[in-house]
Structure formats: structure tokens, C-alpha cells
Amino acid sequence: MRTRLDRITPLSLSMTMVPAANISVGALGEVERLLDDGRAAMKTTVARFSRWLGSSAGRSASIAEAQRRFTLVRLRFHAFIARYDIFADVLVQRSERENGVWIAGLDDLAADALRVPGLSFRAPPLVCYLDRGVGAAIRRARTRLPGGPPSPVAVIRVPRERMVGQAIGASLVHEVGHQAVSVFDLLPGLRCMLQARQRAEPQPLARACWSCWERWCSEAIADVWAVAQLGVSASLGLIGVVSLPRAFVFRIDLEDPHPFPWIRVLLSAAVGMALYPDALWGWVIRMWKSMYPVADAPPALLPFLAAIERTLPELAALLLSVRTPQLRHRTLEKCLAPLDRSPQRLAVEWDQLQRDPTHFRRLSPTLALATVSQARIDRRLSPERESELIARMLGDWAVRSSLRATTRCGRSVARLAH
């Protein structure tokens, strides 16, 4: 174990990517500090065990006792290696041609998706990596890593198959929504509101619906975040993830924090209608219901489906009415409304982009992505051209972020020199 620990070098000495593909300086510094502290603590643990073995107590101890102590040391060692591998996986892909720069662009998209207009707060660094699978996932900042210490950064896993068109943003921003829920402490107040709604409901079936929403509220509020940041493309991206065989679309599992797919898409559209009213949301609902007609659901489930669908307008309003001290006691709707990802606004931005191809550089990453995705929805853009534009934007965000970091470092060096 001592030999293996000595061979673990800082990640900054093992990275082979171009500068534009690197994670932010702040994120790398936080990760290096975490791993350096873990390496030092692990060396201390191994040294302490070695001293015990050579002591009179260790020499007189039974083999079973020595094995017990060794097993605990080894478990801590494996936990440290697991932490190292988590961040090594994040960085190693950044040496891949094209993918590395695109992943760095996703970092910038994620950072922008965590911002709230007019609200300053200390946002944790967010870093992305690609993996197999259909859905994205996040290891939130300040949650426990293997072995105990909290993660200094949020790590977002993006499925490789989502690296095409609007699917990228929908999955990524939903996961950023989970980090936002943590940063702004949205869940306690939301759960209290849902519990109060259950108590106030006299009908048993409707009360069961609100009980389900309490179980599913963490995923529901993350979907709200995605719709607020991306508009209609968030709902269509969600459809791309949850388009499964009918048995799964109508399958209700109260142990799963995700709402069952059929109602989850309808909730996404209901939130969109509340935030950015437009006939396009009705088209999303009709399309989804034509793909999965309610008549195909198990007959015993039909009354519940009708009842839970009736809760959607009220639930959307409730989700948007959450307020916390971290939001300066403003409602979530009031905080997110200035984003304005309405189809009308996005169409205006697309028209401007057509007149000036460099216009996207003046847009925030989420607004730029929502604009391109909306043009695709409006059939003003082909899938191939959409993919080309998004790849170009990801690369541009990565390069500009790298240049900003280089400039800041240069200024810091100049100040120190003087």
C-alpha cells in the first residue's frame, strides 16, 4: 500500500489534454487539495499500522486481531483509490480528440445553468465526463465521497449517446438542477408544502397523488430547473430519455425518486406552460399522449392516471412558488422568470443569429443552446446543422474559458512580480 500511494501523482502531472479541454483552475485546485489530504492521511494510517505491528502489543496480538486491523486499513485504502479514480475518470477523457474540448464546453454550459439572474452566491465548480448509459447523473458538491470526505466539486456524468443536438442540454441541465436544489435548499420547504396539501385533501385518491409527488419532488424540481433554463427543448430532451416500452412508461415505483415517465413528461410541459405560455406546450402534450395513449395503460391504473393528471396545474404553481432565504425570500418563479426561454424570445434570437453568425458569442451558453434547439423544433434548422452548431458552440465556450483563465493567471503573476 505504501508503494502504491507513492506512485499516485497529482492529477495536474498526468493530464495530456490541450489547454482548452482542461477543467477550471479552481476546480483542479480543489480536487488536488482533496486528494493530497487523502494521500497524506492514508500514509499516516499505514504508518500507524506498521508501527503497531512492530510494537510489543502487535507482536503479542493474535493473527485474527492483526488481520482485523489490516482489513480496516485496506478498506480505507480502497476508498481513497476510489476517490482518486472518480476524478481521474473526469480528466482522462479530456485528452480525446474533439471530445475533450466538447466536455470542457459542457463544464461552461453547466456553470451557466447554475446561475440565477440578479442573485450572487458562491457556486461550486462543476465538471463533466462521458459514460455509457441513457440517463445523466450527478455527484453533487459537498456530498460524501467513498471513505467519508465531501466532494469539493460537482461531477456530472453525461451519456455519450446524448452528445447530439438538444439532448445534450436537457440531460445536463436537469442534473445541474439537482445541484441548484442543494445550493438554494429548496427541498425542505417544498416537502412541507406538499405535506400540507395532502392534509388538506379530502379525497383519498387525490391525497394519494399528492403523497406520490412528495416522494418524487426532488426530481420534479430538477425538471423545473431544466425547463426554466432551456424552454421546450428540455421537455423534448426528456422524452428522448424516457421513451421506453409501454410497460415501463406506465410503471409506478414509489421506491424510485423519479416520477413514472408518462406523468413526468406531462409535468414538464405543465411547468413550461406556467413559465412560458405558448401553444407549443399543447403540441408536446398531444405528441406524448399519441405516443403512449392512456388506453394502453393497465385498466386498474386509469383512475389514478386521471387523478394525478388533474394535479399538474396546481403542482406546477406550487413548485414555482417555493421560496427560501437563499433565494432572498423570492419565489423560484420570480427568480427564474428573467431567463425568458419562451419560444417567441428564442425565435428573435435565432433571427439575429441568422443575420450575424457571431451573435451566439454574446449569448449565455444556456440561452445559445435553447435558441438553436428551438430553431430545430420550429424546423428552421436540420438535425445535421444543429449538431454542427452545438459542436461549434461547445468548442468556442471551452476556448474562451481557457483564455479567461490564462488572462487571470497572467494578471496574478504580474501583481506578484510588482
Same domain, yes or no: 12 and 83 = yes
pLDDT recorded at residue 413:
44
Same domain, yes or no: 373 and 328 = no
Let me know if residue 258 belongs to a domain: yes
pLDDT recorded at residue 183:
95
Same domain, yes or no: 191 and 299 = yes
Query: What's this model's pTM, rounded to 2 decimal places?
Result: 0.86
- Rounded to the nearest 5 degrees, what angle is found at the Cα of 81, between the Cα atoms of 32 and 92? 60
The separation between CA 285 and the C-alpha centre of its own chain, rounded to angstroms, equals 25
Same domain, yes or no: 328 and 193 = yes
Average pLDDT, integer, range 109-129: 92
256 — pLDDT class (breaks 50, 70, 90): very high
Average pLDDT, integer, range 105-117: 94
pLDDT recorded at residue 340:
95
18-32, 121-135, 208-222, 254-268: least confidently modelled range = 18-32
For helices 343-355 and 365-377, the axis angle rounded to 10 degrees is 100
pLDDT recorded at residue 197:
96
Please answer whether residues 268 and 177 qualify as being in contact, where contact means their C-beta atoms are separated by less than 8 angstroms: no
Let me know if residue 371 belongs to a domain: yes
Same domain, yes or no: 335 and 196 = yes
Same domain, yes or no: 206 and 352 = no
Q: What is the number of structural domains in the chain?
A: 3
51-55, 161-165, 219-223: least confidently modelled range = 161-165
Let me know if residue 398 belongs to a domain: yes
179-193, 226-240, 336-350, 389-403: least confidently modelled range = 389-403
Whether residue 410 has pLDDT greater than 60: no
Using CA atoms, how far apart are residues 73 and 43, in angstroms rounded to an integer? Answer: 10
23 — pLDDT class (breaks 50, 70, 90): confident
pLDDT recorded at residue 68:
92
Using CA atoms, how far apart are residues 3 and 26, in angstroms rounded to an integer? Answer: 30
In this predicted model, which residue has the larger pLDDT, 183 or 8? 183
Same domain, yes or no: 124 and 207 = no
Using CA atoms, how far apart are residues 314 and 410, in angstroms rounded to an integer? Answer: 53
Please answer whether residues 234 and 227 qualify as being in contact, where contact means their C-beta atoms are separated by less than 8 angstroms: yes
All cell numbers assigned to 285? 402534450
Domain membership of residue 358 as a residue range? 343-417
Let me know if residue 210 belongs to a domain: yes
Same domain, yes or no: 135 and 10 = yes
The values of phi and psi at residue 91, to 5°, are -90, -35
pLDDT recorded at residue 416:
45
The domain boundary residue, chosen from 324, 339, 354: 339
The separation between CA 102 and the C-alpha centre of its own chain, rounded to angstroms, equals 16
Same domain, yes or no: 135 and 195 = no
Average predicted confidence (pLDDT) for the chain: 89
pLDDT recorded at residue 404:
74
- Rounded to the nearest 5 degrees, what angle is found at the Cα of 210, between the Cα atoms of 207 and 213? 155
The domain boundary residue, chosen from 294, 322, 339: 339
Let me know if residue 67 belongs to a domain: yes
The domain boundary residue, chosen from 321, 339, 357: 339
11 — pLDDT class (breaks 50, 70, 90): low
31-72 pLDDT tens trace: 888 888 888 999 999 999 999 999 999 999 999 999 999 999
Using CA atoms, how far apart are residues 10 and 32, in angstroms rounded to an integer? Answer: 7
Whether residue 118 has pLDDT greater than 50: yes
Q: According to the 3-state scheme, what is the secondary structure of 242-276?
A: HCCCHHHHCCCCCCCCCCCHHHHHHHHHHHHHHHC
Whether residue 325 has pLDDT greater than 90: yes
Let me know if residue 156 belongs to a domain: no
Same domain, yes or no: 297 and 405 = no
Same domain, yes or no: 91 and 226 = no
Let me know if residue 369 belongs to a domain: yes
In this predicted model, which residue has the larger pLDDT, 410 or 350? 350
Let me know if residue 148 belongs to a domain: no
pLDDT recorded at residue 136:
87
Whether residue 317 has pLDDT greater than 60: yes
355-373 pLDDT tens trace: 998 888 899 999 999 999 9
pLDDT recorded at residue 239:
93
402 — pLDDT class (breaks 50, 70, 90): confident
Average pLDDT, integer, range 388-406: 83
Same domain, yes or no: 242 and 279 = yes
pLDDT recorded at residue 168:
81
